[in-house]
Amino acid sequence: MKFSFFTETTPPLIGMDISSTSVKMVELSGDGRGGYKLEGYSISPLAKDAISDGNVSDLEKVVDAVKLCWKLLGSREKRTALALPTSAVISKKVIMAGDLREEDMEVQVEAEANQYIPFSLDEVNIDFQILGPAPNSPDEVEVLIVAARKEKIEDRVASAEGAGLKVSVVDVESYATEAAYTLVAGQLPNAGREQTVMIVDVGATMTHVNVLHDNNPVYAREQNFGGGQLTQEIQRRFGLSQEEAEIAKRKGGLPESYESEVLQPFVQLLAMEVARALQFFTSSTQYNRVDHIVLAGGCASIAEIDVSVQDRTQVNTIVANPFHSMAVGSRVRQQQAIIDAPALLIACGLAMRGVGV
């Protein structure tokens, strides 16, 4: 069964990112000058354990969060683009003859997929995209094959449909991150060209590392570290529930000791994790250096986090803001959007699929 991970734009779309602690939505439009306009965004908290290890474990709770998020967004648009966690997807690059017709290529893709997918092909959705000419052979093309278990896709689709939304596109989180990075690259010297850039997206439980060289992906890895550790420490130290701790983490209102006794040690820990990721990358690949680090995820909103990471790694570090050169709609509070932007990277990358820029 072919499933469209790579559908071209189907304007307009709401980009919806379902993570382990929240649902995030971004709505973009074209600005009429070849760029994007941020029409609106929203974030709604997700009940504990509604998503477990990237899987929907309590559909009703996820549907409730999606409904709330859509209501907060204040949009009439119901078509959405979703993403599967990168860990839920098997992807492989293969080389094929460049003159194959599409139907012949589909047959070959299925044959290739049969070799490396550890499930029956009846249980998976497969899609493929031609990336371009093969590196060493002009007569051949490089093809990216992507496969995911149907149940993983169906659970996510049910989360949206249960809230009255229609899923037009299913993407992969790492591809959505790479799409949004094209907007962040403008914050870097020479827009990141001919340089090695490490995107570090710190989620609640996992840190996702994507490295691009000359703006092409060359490396991806996950590390078992996330902002949930800060939430747990706030809960433990100040006797709060998880929900109260999440709100306090975002909006403040904690005792004075929080800064020095809880936040700063966590920031140092995060900087150490980034340094570890950097060391792992340079020691296990042909690349011996990284020119820039781009921080994303909710933790990237912590004040001066980029300074701490730069001090620890000695690599130029910026906080991702995919909206930094966008026009902004009247529904958006600009100051708040700057704070929330690093957590909206995936949702933004998904929303870009609905704008023909």
C-alpha dihedral sign at 326, 171, 143, 9: negative
Q: How many CB atoms lie within 10 A of CB 329?
A: 14
253-306 confidence digits (pLDDT tens)? 899 999 999 999 999 999 999 999 999 999 999 999 999 999 999 999 999 999
Q: Which residues contact 135 (CB under 8 A, 6 or more apart)?
A: 142
Domain positions in the chain: 90-150
Q: Which residues contact 325 (CB under 8 A, 6 or more apart)?
A: 35, 183, 186
Question: Which H or E run includes 312?
Answer: helix 305-313
* Token couple for 196: 């090695």
At position 95, the amino acid (one-letter code) is I
Q: pTM for this structure?
A: 0.90
DSSP 2: B
Closest CA to 200 of 260, 101, 270: 270
- What distance in Å separates the CA atoms of residue 99 and residue 73, rounded to the nearest whole number? 46
Q: Kindly indicate whether the domain formed by 90-150 is annotated with CATH number 3.30.1490.300.
A: yes
Structure confidence at residue 238 as a pLDDT band (50, 70, 90)? very high
Is the model's pLDDT at 130 over the cut of 90?
A: no
71-128 confidence digits (pLDDT tens)? 999 999 999 999 999 888 888 888 998 888 888 888 888 888 888 888 888 888 888 8
**What pLDDT was estimated at residue 92?**
87
Quote the mean pLDDT of the chain. 91
- What distance in Å separates the CA atoms of residue 285 and residue 272, rounded to the nearest whole number? 20
Cβ-contact 317, 311 below 8 angstroms: no
**What pLDDT was estimated at residue 119?**
81
- What distance in Å separates the CA atoms of residue 352 and residue 39, rounded to the nearest whole number? 12
Is the model's pLDDT at 357 over the cut of 70?
A: no
C-alpha dihedral sign at 171, 346, 271, 53: negative
